[in-house]
Each structure stands twice: as C-alpha cells, then as structure tokens.
Amino acid sequence: MSKRIVVLSEEIANKIAAGEVVERPASIVKELLENSIDAGATDIRVELEKGGTHSIKVTDNGSGIEHEDVPLVFERHATSKIHKYEDIFNVVSFGFRGEAMPSIASIAKVELLTRCRNDLSGTKATLEAGVIKEVLPAGSPEGTQTSVTKIFANVPARRKFLKTEATEQSACLDVITRIALAHPEVRFKVSANGKEMFVAPEVGDISKRISMVMGDDFSAHCIAINEQKENMSLTGFISRPEYTKSNSKSTYLFVNKRFIRDNSVTHAVLSAYRQIIEPRRYPAAVLFLDMPPEDVDVNVHPAKLEVRFKNAHGVYELVSRTIAHNLAEAETSKGNFIYRLQPKEKKNYSYSSPTIREKSPPIPFGMFSRQNIQKAINEDLLKRPFTEKTATVVESANIPAKETISFAGMKYVGQFANTYLIFEGDENLVLLDQHAAHERIILEKLKKTSGEKVVSQSLLMPEIINLTPGQITLFLECIELLQEIGLEIEIFGRDAIAVKAVPVTLSLVKISEIISDIADQLCDQNQTPYLQEKKEKILASLACRAAIKANKVLSYEDVAALCRELETTPFNLTCPHGRPITINFSLNEIERMFKRK
C-alpha cells in the first residue's frame, strides 16, 4: 500500500461520516423526523418497509425547501439552522451540523419531493450513492417527502451488521415514539409494510402520550414531577417503587425536547431509588429537563445523542433530589411505606440461645424425606417457638464443583437480615441466600417445562396487556419461542397482546409483570439474534421475578420446602447469574478467626 498522503474524495469522506450518523435504519428515521420538526411540521407520516431496511419514507407538512436550495441539502455542512460558530451555543433546532442528509445520501438512494408554502410548483431531486441524478421542478403537496431506499447497498459491510427485520423495525418505532413523546403538538402516523402501526393525534399535553411510549402499566404506576431550580426546570413522570424493570434502559431523558443519554442523570435517578427497590431491579422514568440553550452544549456527539451541561452538578442534584422528594411524599402518604433518605440502619442480629437449641436434637437425616417432612413439621417442630425449631438441611459449600447440595443432618438456626438462612452442622456453619436458591429452583423448573412438554396453565379469560408498537413487533417475532416456555400469546389489535396461558411455575406472578419483563429482555439493544440465548435470558429474568425476595420473613415451612426443592434441583451451587447460593464456614475457620487456633 502506498504511504503517500492523499485528500479523500468528498464521496469517501461522506461515507465515513455516515458511519457516525447512520448506524442503522432507526438513525435515518431519527434524522428525517428531526428535520421535519425543525421545519415546523405539525403532521408527520412515516412508512417503513421490512423494518426500515428496505425503505423509509417520511412525509411532513413543514416549511418545504426552496428550489435553488435543494442541491445544498445534500452538501456537507450545508444547513439553514446556524450561520456563525457562536450560533451553536444558542441552537434551538435539532439539526445544525448539516451532515445528516449528505450522510444518508452517501449510503442509500434518496428521493426528495418538496414545496414551500407559497410556491406554485415544487422540486423533485434524486440521489444515488451521494451523487445527484436529477433536480427537476415537480408538482408536490406543501411540505417535504423524503424516501430512502437501497440502504447500505453500496456498503455491504454495514448491511451485514443489521439485525432481523423485527429488531430493526422495533428500533425505528422506538425512535418515533420517543420523538412523539416530546412533541405532543405534532400528529404522527406510522405504518410498517403497509399496516398501520400507530396514530398519535395532536394533543395538548404530554401525559396523554406517556402510555403510548411507556405502556399503560407505567401510566397506572407513575408519579408526575414538576420542579424549578434557578433557570432549570424538571418535569415528567417517575415510576412508583412497586413498578420496576429488569434493566436500566427505561429512563428516558429529554433535554430541551432532545432525547439524549446521560450516565450521570441515569445515576442520579438510580440513586434516588437505591434504598427502596430491590437490587437488580430498576425504575422507569420520563424526564424533561429544560434550560437556556447556552447552558447545554449539544455539539459533542455526531448523532447528537449526548450533550454536555454547563452545570452538571446542578443537574445531578436537581434530578436526584426531586425524585427522592417526590417518592418520599407519594409513599408516606400511602401509609404503608417509609422512604429512607438515610442509609438503612444496621440491625444487630440476635443469635438464638444455644442452650435452648440444645434442647431440640437435630432430626435425623432420614426423616427429611418428602413423605416425612410434613409429618415432622406437624407433629413436632411447629409446636415450638421459631427460635427453637430445628431442622435438618443443607450442604457444605466448599464442595467440588460437580457435587450438588445434599441434606446432611444439619440444624436450621434461623434467618439473618431476612435474607440469609443459617444452618448449623457438627463442623460447619452454612449461610444460604434465599433469593438465589429459589431463583435457581424456578429456572430449572421453567427449563424443564420448555425442554419437555409444556406445562402451562390456561387462563379462563385471556388477559389483554397493552404494549408499545416497538414491543409488539418483537413479541410477534417470538411467539413460538414463548410457546416453548409455556406462554401462549396472540397479537390483539394494534397495541395489545392477549395472554392465553402461562407456565404453571409462574402462576403466582402478575401476568403484566411477566410480560413487562419479557418486553425488557426483548428490547435489550445488545441482544443476540440467537434464539437459545434469548430464551435463556428471558427465563432467568422470569425466575428472578418469581423467586422469594430478599428481605422477606420465611416461615419454617417455607424454609423446609425451599431446602427440599433445592436438593433435587440441578446446578444448585449457583444462582442463574453465577453467584453462590451457599457459603460455608468450617469450625476450623471460625476458630482461627477467633484466634483460638
């Protein structure tokens, strides 16, 4: 290869720039919609074919483009939105870099049809692989229609990175619904493969669009927030603590109506919930942060997905305090919950007196069989107060990986921190994580269900669950996979599914929660196209949802049943996330800790 320096042609430069701006069809949809909104459109129609991988058409009733300006649209750094550098610190439009249209045109075929409000005739332009083929006067409705086809046709390497049509379509719909959320004054109509996916009529206020994007369940479990601080304002909706998600992606942040991602703001949201929702569950929130344009630099990311705040600390404080305050108010007024602004107090664990326990000899191992357990409980153990109860259970954790938990003659001592079960053997002490143990039990049951014949429970009346258009697309793709795990669903109209049967193992979990967790898993952007992996992730999240929670008081029967089931469960040394289920302390180790040895 020659080492001489050459200036890249405009065509190659555009293709390279396109790599940053146009990652997938959803990025094209985003740029086109932002241009329509910048042009003052109040009515926008989006038509997708094959998930946007075949064609994307956006039609708006905005200002249109003057005939002489049309070729400029496709020139790099050609924009009508800023004229001098300082303007970017005051930019109120979505675009300003003048990069999107040339980038899109460099990797696809673009047809533009446009007419300005007071012009008699419009303009039609066609470009292919970045080259203008024609610009002609043409009849056109008022506004602009942009059709993009042959996406990545001239960059086959990029085309290979596209996921399934359903995943790409879902990503496009997510972009559209997010933009629709911040623009209630604009009417949106979206179709995919000729089928209408959703219609969002123009509404006066954002709350009417919330359920469209976040789902009905969120709307039913959210708190409206509204706070001003100096020249910033924070409005929006946050989830109540009982509504949780299995990933952290459900916090949507809009800064001056621009959808962005910001780790620091996400952290502020999570910190407000940290003390009140379980570990590994996440809140959902739609936050609108508004501030003067000069306080936020929008020119730090090619796809304008990140911004830099002048007063990042102030933003963090505003978000975390407002949410913490609103949660505290909403929950204390409900009466059954006290929000802890301070870290949880450390509780002293009171160990049950050994003298009392000595009175109750351990039940011999043989008694702890399926037949005998209930009898033993009824006849003997339940007659005594809880601290005196002795059971037989559990294992030793320092066992070679292939072994599984076996019930040796151990005594159940009690529960620590309402989360860990303590067992005592002759020469060891074992702590068992109740949530981790139950998670593994449920996961293995669900897996069995899916591998062999489906053990599902049909519902007398199908339950209708509302979903967003993006979610529906993903469910549609996975109907068979869900059936394998015992979940029978049917698409029900444009924005709902009907659940007809659920796996028996999950019969105690709310159906809306099962569906919401599956939706979270399916929406996961980094998700693999491999069905088996998809299935495993879904099963693990369902197991987590159905398992006994940490911080729950367990009765003696609960503990006995848990141990009995764990004994016959494969892979019972670790939970589905790979964490240990039990930790073993040998007498030797304990004595060494006390410097007795």
Q: Which of 18, 26, 28, 60 binds ligand ADP (CB under 6 A)?
A: 60
**Bridge partner list, 198:** 190
Binding region for ligand ADP (CB under 6 A) out of 29-37, 293-301, 306-314, 339-347: 29-37
Lookup: tokens for 537: 């992730």
Binding mask 144-183 for ligand ADP (x = CB under 6 A): x---------------------------------------
Which of 95, 184, 241, 469 binds ligand ADP (CB under 6 A)? It is 95
Which one of ligand ADP, Mg ion, none is in contact with 39 (Cβ closer than 5 to 8 A by kind)? ligand ADP
Instruction: Indicate if the alpha-carbon torsion angle 224, 228, 229, 233 is positive or negative.
Output: positive
Positions in the binding site for Mg ion (CB under 5 A): 35, 95, 100
- Return the range that interacts with ligand ADP (CB under 6 A); candidates 60-68, 213-221, 225-233, 465-473: 60-68
Minimal distance in Å, beta carbon 517 to Mg ion?
Answer: 36
Q: How far is CA 393 from CA 77, 331, 362, 401, 579, in A?
A: 72, 39, 10, 19, 21
Smaller CB separation from ligand ADP, 30 or 445: 30
Binding partner at 566 among ligand ADP, Mg ion, none, C-beta below 5 to 8 Å by kind: none
Among residues 95 and 236, whose Cβ is nearest to Mg ion?
A: 95
Please give the helix or strand (H or E) that residue 219 lies within, else none: helix 216-220
Q: Are 402 and 572 in contact (CB under 8 A)?
A: no
User: Does residue 123 interact with ligand ADP by CB under 6 A?
Assistant: no
What is the amino acid identity at position 191? S
**Closest residue (Cβ) to ligand ADP?**
95
In the complex, least distance from residue 38 CB atom to ligand ADP, rounded to whole angstroms? 6
Q: Cβ(285)–Cβ(236) under 8 Å?
A: yes
- How far apart are alpha carbons 520 and 170 in whole angstroms? 12
User: DSSP label at 349?
Assistant: P
Say how far apart CA 36 and CA 142 lie, in whole Å. 12
Nearer to Mg ion, 179 or 225 (CB): 179
Burial class of 139 by CB neighbour count within 10 A (0 to 12, 13 to 18, 19+): exposed
How many residues form the binding site for ligand ADP (CB under 6 A)?
Answer: 21
Query: From the CB of 526, what's the least distance to Mg ion, in Å?
Result: 27
- Residue 100 interacts with ligand ADP (CB under 6 A): yes or no: yes
Picking from 20, 325, 328, the residue whose alpha carbon sits closest to that of residue 158 is 20
CA separation for the pair 17, 75 (Å, rounded): 12
Task: Indicate whether 65 belongs to the interface with ligand ADP (CB under 6 A).
Answer: yes
The reply on whether position 63 binds ligand ADP by CB under 6 A is yes
**Cβ atoms within 10 Å, residue 406:** 12
Select from 32-40, 247-255, 351-359, 504-512 the region that touches ligand ADP (CB under 6 A): 32-40
Judging by DSSP bridges, how do beta strands 285-290 and 251-255 pair with one another?
parallel
Residue 47 lies near ligand ADP (rule: CB under 6 A)? no
Quick one: which of 98, 215, 241, 425 contacts ligand ADP (CB under 6 A)?
A: 98
Distance CA 313, CA 324 (A): 16
466, amino acid identity: N
Given the rule CB under 6 A, which of 97-105, 158-166, 552-560, 582-590 is the region that contacts ligand ADP? 97-105
Q: Which stretch binds ligand ADP (CB under 6 A): 3-11, 79-87, 344-352, 434-442?
A: 79-87
CA-nearest of 378, 359, 371, 364 to 410 is 364
49 lines the binding site for ligand ADP (CB under 6 A)? no
Using DSSP bridges, classify how beta strands 251-255 and 296-297 pair: parallel, antiparallel or unpaired.
Answer: unpaired
Give yes or no for a contact between 563 and 411, defined as CB atoms under 8 angstroms apart. Answer: no
Instruction: Please report how close the Cβ of residue 95 comes to ligand ADP at its closest, in angstroms.
Output: 2
Among 14, 79, 244, 392, binds ligand ADP (CB under 6 A): 79
How far apart, in whole angstroms, are the C-alpha atoms of residue 273 and residue 341? 10
First to last CA, the chain: 71
- Work out whether 61 is an interface residue with ligand ADP (CB under 6 A): no
**With CB cut-offs between 5 and 8 Å by kind, which of ligand ADP, Mg ion, none does residue 516 bind?**
none
144's contact among Mg ion, ligand ADP, none, with CB below 5 to 8 A by partner kind, is ligand ADP
Angle of helix 511-523 versus helix 469-477 axis, rounded to 10: 90
Residues that bind ligand ADP (CB under 6 A): 31, 35-36, 39, 60, 62-63, 65, 73, 78-81, 95-101, 144
